[in-house]
Amino acid sequence: MIIEDVICPFCGSLCDDLTVEVKDNEIAGIENACKLGYSKMMGYEHDRYERPLKRVGDEFKEISYEESIEEAAKILYNAKSPLLYGWASTSCEAIERGIELAVKIGGVIDQTATVCHGPTVLGTQEVGKPSCTLGEVKNRADLVIYWGCNPFHAHPRHAERYSTFTKGYFTKKGRTDRKIVLVDIRKTDTEGICDRFIQIEPGSDYKILTSLIAIVMGKEESIPEEIGGVKKEELLGLAEEMKHANFGMVFFGMGVTMTGPKYKNIAALERLVRELNRHTKFSLMPMRGHYNVAGAGAVFTWRTGFPYAVDFRRGYPYYNPGETTSNDLLTREEVDAMLVVASDPGAHFVNSSVRRMAKIPLIVMDPHPSATSELADLIIPTAISGVEMDGTAYRMDDVPIRFKKLIDSKFKSDFEIIGDIIEKIEKRGVKD
Ligand code: SF4
């Protein structure tokens, strides 16, 4: 059976033009996916947990699915300060149930933006986000700036489908109708598809962005001859190109969100784009990594009013990044149990957090072994969303897209497992 228009469940580009061949309930071939998407979808069977596992001493013991749900419910119900973390690589439907679980157990629920584009959210809350869809970029953008990101490796088909090579309504010739600029601290492979590379000193994004704002506002006399390793002349040239584009676009990554003053970088970038809109049409967009991290932010926001790090321990949603964010809670040793869904914080969190995760009861819901599951006390295998389960995800431009189930699975989905845990918790009665 050939399935067309399949959505790739790997990165935030959510490419929707894959063709998948299914034979005897197995994926036999994939067309149009990049290496990242191909290896996730073709390798779906590789190295999977077959049954739920419970840690007994230094070893894992196989247990039944029912026992694993009972155990998970017991751990979360008995915890005073449980943390539910992950959610960026699962469906919006599962995320919504995760929030329901957090409310029932009076815990904190956080998602992976806390360690990637959380500062983007804060900048947006301060300044606002002048943005657009990837379709508008494809059809209109004649100046594209990649800032602190490396789509060549992290979003391999982004340039081909949306931002560089693709032909659109007003960009009929594709690549030759666009000017492409890379701003980064070092040359990456993305430089190979760009017309211009501007190398900046590490941590100097804020200085350069605020200098560009001054230039665009006509106050270039306030800028020194060199700033952040970039000559004033080069910044004047970039600002001119920006002002004279018909439709300019900035795609930015963690090279901006996680350096220097972090969210202030994003607020400055958003101010720059706002200033540019006095001269022409300009937009910006974060390069979201996990395929549904944008969906996690959307679901959190519509259900709780806050995009991540939402604390229900007081009985109502409370949000204060730096206080209720996962690494801060774990480092302060406030968390006394943790559920990790579709994520690997053991590989990405700071040492002090990982040390805390190793000490507390840790439940991991994942199809595959990971650095986090090595620390787990309970592992519940899951079906893979986008391969074995359908659902909804949000592309990096916040467009919701329905992804398909391609094959049947013997495992339950995140949505079903969270639902089973909630049912068990409800049987235990209302928590104090
Ligand atoms: S660019 Fe991203 S969404 Fe597109 S095929 Fe590659 S991994 Fe999948």
Segment 236-283, tens digit of pLDDT: 999 999 999 999 999 999 999 999 889 999 999 999 999 999 999 999
- pLDDT for position 126: 87
User: What is the spatial distance between Cα 127 and Cα 146, in angstroms, rounded to a whole number?
Assistant: 21
Output the pTM of the full model: 0.94
pLDDT band with cut points at 50, 70 and 90 for residue 116: confident
Average pLDDT over residues 378-399: 96
Please write the tens of the pLDDT for every residue from 285-336.
Answer: 999 999 999 999 999 999 999 999 999 999 999 999 999 999 999 999 999 9
- pLDDT for position 300: 97
| Domain limits, CATH 3.40.50.740, in the chain | 35-116+291-427
CB-based contact 201:255 (threshold 8 Å): no
User: What is the spatial distance between Cα 393 and Cα 145, in angstroms, rounded to a whole number?
Assistant: 26
Atom 8, ligand 1: residue with shortest CA distance: 37
Protein fold of 118-286: Dimethylsulfoxide Reductase; domain 2 (3.40.228)
Give me ligand 1 centre to Cα 419, in Å: 30
Which atom of ligand 1 approaches the CA of 33 most closely?
Answer: 5
- For residue 3, what is the DSSP state? E
Q: 429: how many CB neighbours lie within 10 A of its CB? A: 8
Decide: 117 in ligand 1 pocket, CB within 6 A: no
- pLDDT for position 158: 97
pLDDT band with cut points at 50, 70 and 90 for residue 428: confident
Nearest 5°: the CA angle 389, 151, 227 is 140
CB-based contact 107:82 (threshold 8 Å): yes
Question: Exposed, middle or buried, 407 (CB in 10 Å: 0-12/13-18/19+)?
Answer: buried
CB-based contact 268:206 (threshold 8 Å): yes
Q: How many CA atoms lie within 13 A of 264 on its CB side?
A: 10
pLDDT band with cut points at 50, 70 and 90 for residue 44: confident
Per-residue pLDDT at 345 exceeds 80: yes
Q: Whole-number mean pLDDT of the chain? A: 95
Per-residue pLDDT at 186 exceeds 90: yes
CB-based contact 339:71 (threshold 8 Å): no
User: What is the spatial distance between Cα 423 and Cα 81, in angstroms, rounded to a whole number?
Assistant: 20
Q: Is the CATH number of domain 35-116+291-427 3.40.50.300?
A: no
User: What is the spatial distance between Cα 262 and Cα 238, in angstroms, rounded to a whole number?
Assistant: 23
Please write the tens of the pLDDT for every residue from 63-110.
Answer: 999 999 999 999 999 999 999 999 999 999 999 999 999 999 999 999
Torsion of CA 252, 258, 263, 264, to 10 degrees: -90
Atom 2, ligand 1: residue with shortest CA distance: 11
Per-residue pLDDT at 430 exceeds 80: no
| Domain limits, CATH 3.40.228.10, in the chain | 118-286
Contacts 24+ apart (CB under 8 A), 207-211: 208/183, 208/235, 209/265, 209/268, 209/269, 209/271, 209/272, 210/268, 211/235
Decide: 214 in ligand 1 pocket, CB within 6 A: no
Q: Which of 17, 100, 124, 2 is nearest to 403 (CA)?
A: 17
Average pLDDT over residues 402-417: 96
Decide: 85 in ligand 1 pocket, CB within 6 A: no
Decide: 145 in ligand 1 pocket, CB within 6 A: no
Atom 5, ligand 1: residue with shortest CA distance: 33
pLDDT band with cut points at 50, 70 and 90 for residue 396: very high
- pLDDT for position 119: 86
Residues with Cβ within 8 Å of residue 68, at least 6 apart in sequence: 52, 54, 378, 380
Decide: 155 in ligand 1 pocket, CB within 6 A: yes
- For residue 200, what is the DSSP state? -
| Residue type for position 301 | T
